[in-house]
Amino acid sequence: MAGRLIATSLARTLSGRQSGNSDWPFLTRIRFHCVYWPAFLMALDLPLPKQILAHAHWTLGREKMAKSTGNVVNPFFAIDRFGVDMMRYYLAHDGRNSQDSDYSNENIIERYKKGLQGGLGNLTSRILRGKGWSVRDAVKLARDGSLGLWNGQHQEQYDLLAATPGWFAGRMNNLNVSEATQGVMKMIYAVCDVHTSSGKSVIDSICRLMYTSNGRNHGPL
């Protein structure tokens, strides 16, 4: 698919070379195309890729996908059933570079319920629901460095939040999309699922800290 995408943009790229606005060369070439595409580029006197990404494959029922055997997935049917965003998330989460991944409708549904609904959706709802604290005020205070009430509670989760951007960037720079995606989800689960000794979730407690720092309530946490 990446090769076909490049093919459709080749005319734009060639014209861009003349105006100096080209984004060529593409830095990474998928292993499957590392013979043919460099040959095409050399024939057109275009720069060669700087890097080769060798990735694993998707199987279906633990068997190799092949048009000759009919063991395939229709991507248009999958998108119609699950939606574009869900399919993007599933392929990014489960598609690995070093080991084959097995395509399964059951896995897609499980990823949706746990990751997008119970994880990301839960976190978004808790932060944006507007009960007891203001997202706008918290963002302004954070921008101005005025939150000032972090007192060491839930330090482990705070450290995880602080470390994740750099960790994520490192995996993406290494073209490890699956590990990067799973790492972000682990962070989301850690914030949503861990509960305090009083039974409240950590995210509720963190929102409460922000709420207090807004000056709306100076009572005990």
Q: What would the pLDDT profile of 59-113 be if each residue is shown by its tens digit?
A: 999 999 988 989 999 999 999 999 999 999 999 999 998 899 999 999 999 999 9
Same domain, 39 and 141: no
Q: How far is CA 155 from the centre of its chain?
A: 24
Domain containing 30: what range?
1-54
Q: Is residue 30 part of a domain?
A: yes
The residue that leads in pLDDT, 52 or 61, is 61
pLDDT digits (tens, 9 = 90+) for 95-104: 998 899 999 9
Q: Is residue 145 part of a domain?
A: yes
Torsion sign, CA atoms 211, 167, 96, 29:
positive
Distances in Å between the Cα of 28 and the Cα atoms of 17, 36, 41 are 19, 14, 13
Share of the chain above pLDDT 90, in %: 33
Residue 133 has pLDDT above 80, yes or no: no
CATH number at residue 102: 1.10.730.10
Per-residue confidence band for 202, with pLDDT thresholds at 50, 70 and 90: low
The residue that leads in pLDDT, 49 or 119, is 119
* Most confident stretch, 55-59, 82-86, 205-209: 82-86
Name the 3-class secondary structure at 124: helix
Unique residue bearing structure tokens 């395939």 = 72
At 149 the pLDDT is: 52
Per-residue confidence band for 218, with pLDDT thresholds at 50, 70 and 90: very low
Same domain, 153 and 191: yes
Distance CA 124, CA 117 (A): 10
Distances in Å between the Cα of 124 and the Cα atoms of 121, 191, 193 are 5, 11, 13
Q: How far is CA 88 from the centre of its chain?
A: 9
Same domain, 142 and 206: yes
At 98 the pLDDT is: 86
Same domain, 85 and 190: yes
In total, how many domains does the chain have?
2
Read off φ and ψ for residue 33, nearest 5 degrees.
-105, 15
Same domain, 71 and 154: yes
Same domain, 14 and 61: no
At 63 the pLDDT is: 93
Q: The whole model's pTM is what? A: 0.69
Quote helix, strand, coil % in the chain, to nearest 5: 60, 10, 35
CA R_g for the chain? 23
Distances in Å between the Cα of 118 and the Cα atoms of 13, 75, 104, 134, 185 are 42, 25, 20, 23, 11
